[in-house]
Chains A and B, each alone.
Chain A
């Protein structure tokens, strides 16, 4: 067992032996990881590695079969998504996590509804505009979300989550289907969110180049197991990771 490197208060999210079984399949097995304040942590792995299950476990959409989940220093094992999100953890979903029939302004506004429940309408409107500005959605505020191009829809789902001003922002494959320019722009947005708002980001992503580029640390999953954890440089040189992704030499 790895002993935690930091005091409990210093960690936004910690999983301890987190496991989820579906019948005979172990989707996530004995995962112990932590997310430290201010970092951008990448969660990568081939298809079916258990990334999405991990995301559902830490956001409360799924209950672990065993193990422990701690969010903002509090035991959250088995808590509902609402309770976990109220601790300051916001997440997006892989597929269309926005309200398709509402315009972008109202989409983002929904993100402020709970966290700014006591604020005035003007304050909320300011939050919406500020959020749209950071994500470059200002020109599209009055467009119905379903009418936007795919890349902008991705940004809308991030905007909704970010409008809650979470301490931990969990993004599920936010770069899928984006072109190179859009990816670069999105990475800039992530950096800006961290720098200007002190948010910590947990990123599940397929785009290896982007992950290597932006993440401070990376956790690699493979068949539900935690294969490696480290900086991008360490991960790039890790034998186990290379063989999981490319197959070992004699397999060919």
Chain B
């Protein structure tokens, strides 16, 4: 197996979790949590891009994850650990069925079905009185003794899942996903069950999106259907495109940059959406490989100049 950059991962994880431990003040902590959760949504969205698809069902799965946590905590009084995973487990089943039905089609068609599914789920959430309808569910709290550790816990879960996705991508399994993106027919002619790979990839990504959702529920304490419009998927696409889709680090970095800039853009009111749209367009025009792709090229050029100078 290729170089896994284990040292880089250890340092990155330590830094992120450490930051989660030392941060003080409600605003920095909430911003930190949102950044971490957005990173997870971004890398989950990008994982489906490995097979060449864009899953706007991501919004629905983030929402189902969040509502799983909400229902388990406020209505059923289930323990935190169960509430955290119940949504993602449900999403595994839902994404299996959704994937089996829809991953036979590709490109824009798959994208549109994802959009439609997300809107369907959101509207169903607004129509269901027992989970609060349009106004959503308040009071989704983690256990009291978790409070000081919550940002570090969020960071740890996010890093762990990112690492799982990274390992999957670098493994033989990940190579098959890329092969399917490049040329599905070849995968078939060498005996690979393309639908199995596509559906499993989609399930893994959807599970991660749902975990992001259930973390979001515990971090914000309040959720409503309005939090899970198709914009969640659109933002995820923006994170990936701005950061650079070539690597998982690009997608995660794009989330960090855009969420931080976006927290400023919040002050712009309705201009916020223009901000994200503008960011995608600018990124695709000026740096087609994203911030991280460009940074990589810059490093290469500096490196080349150095070796030329010798």
Contact = CB atoms under 8 A, between A and B. Distances in A.
Interface in B189-207: 189-194
A172 to B, nearest CB: 11
Interface stretch (A30-38, A81-89, A243-251): A81-89
Contact of A164 (B176, B178, B182, B190): B190
Contacts of A121: 1, 172
Nearest to A82: B188
B183 interface: yes
A88 to B, nearest CB: 9
A28 to B, nearest CB: 20
Contact of A113 (B1, B172, B182): B172
A91 B190 CA distance: 8
A85 B186 CA distance: 11
B187 interface: yes
A127 to B, nearest CB: 12
Contacts of B178: 99, 101-102, 106
Given A97-B183, A99-B183, A100-B182, A113 B190 contact: yes
B106 interface: no
A106 B176 CA distance: 9
A14 B191 CA distance: 20
Interface residues of A, number: 31
Contact of A99 (B172, B182, B191): B182
Given A82-B194, A86-B191, A113-B192, A98 B186 contact: yes
Nearest to A102: B178
Nearest to B172: A113
Contacts of A97: 183, 185-186, 189
Given A109-B175, A121-B1, A114 B190 contact: yes
A99 B176 CA distance: 10
Contact of A61 (B172, B185, B192): B185
Interface in A182-218: none
Interface residues of B, number: 19
A231 interface: no
Nearest to B183: A99
Given A101-B178, A102-B179, A110 B186 contact: yes
Contacts of B189: 59, 81, 85, 90-92, 97, 161
B172 to A, nearest CB: 6
Contact of B182 (A102, A161, A163): A102
A161 B191 CA distance: 10
A86 B175 CA distance: 20
B34 to A, nearest CB: 33
B193 A82 contact: yes
B185 A114 contact: no
A85 B185 contact: no
Contacts of A102: 175, 178-179, 182
Interface in B156-196: 172, 175-176, 178-179, 181-183, 185-194
Given A85-B190, A110-B179, A121-B1, A93 B185 contact: yes
Interface in A141-172: 157, 160-161, 163-164
A93 B187 CA distance: 12
A61 B194 CA distance: 14
A93 B189 CA distance: 10
B1 A160 contact: no
A197 to B, nearest CB: 16
A226 interface: no
A115 interface: yes
8 contacts: A82-B194, A85-B188, A85-B189, A85-B190, A98-B186, A99-B186, A109-B172, A121-B172
Interface of B: 1, 172, 175-176, 178-179, 181-183, 185-194
Given A80-B188, A90-B189, 13 more contacts: A61-B185, A81-B189, A82-B192, A85-B188, A85-B189, A96-B183, A97-B185, A99-B178, A101-B181, A110-B192, A113-B175, A115-B191, A160-B190
